[in-house]
Amino acid sequence: MLSVPCPWCGPRDETEFKYGGQAHVAYPSDPAALSDAEWASYLFLRDNPKGWFAERWFHSAGCRRWFDVVRHTVTYEFAPGVTP
């Protein structure tokens, strides 16, 4: 069980959260101009690093806010300094 550091509620059990995937995936500025491959890449392709990974979490059972954290995908350690 992960203890996810919610920036509003403090550390809570993973079961209170929904996982939101990779953070900082920007919506294309002109989606209509993208080729199918580029659109599919935006929709489906995500980084899969071994190491530190910025990701989104949603505190669904608590304050119901989205926030970003940086987590290590090997040690499951959360980096300090979460950003709302």
Beta-ladder partners of 22:
55
Query: Can residue 19 be called a binding residue for other proteins (CB under 8 A)?
Result: no
Q: Where would I find the H helices in 1-84?
A: 36-44
- Smaller CB separation from other proteins, 2 or 23: 2
Piece of 13-21, 35-43, 48-56, 73-81 that binds other proteins (CB under 8 A): 13-21
- Give the torsion sign (CA, 12, 70, 68, 23): negative
The token duo for 46 is 């995500």
Using alpha carbons only, what angle is made at residue 22 by residues 20 and 26, rounded to the nearest 5 degrees?
105
Q: Does 2 bind other proteins (CB under 8 A)?
A: no
Of residues 54, 63, 70, 82, which one binds other proteins by CB under 8 A? 63
Size of the site for other proteins (CB under 8 A): 13
Residues forming the site for other proteins (CB under 8 A): 8-10, 12-13, 15-16, 61-65, 84
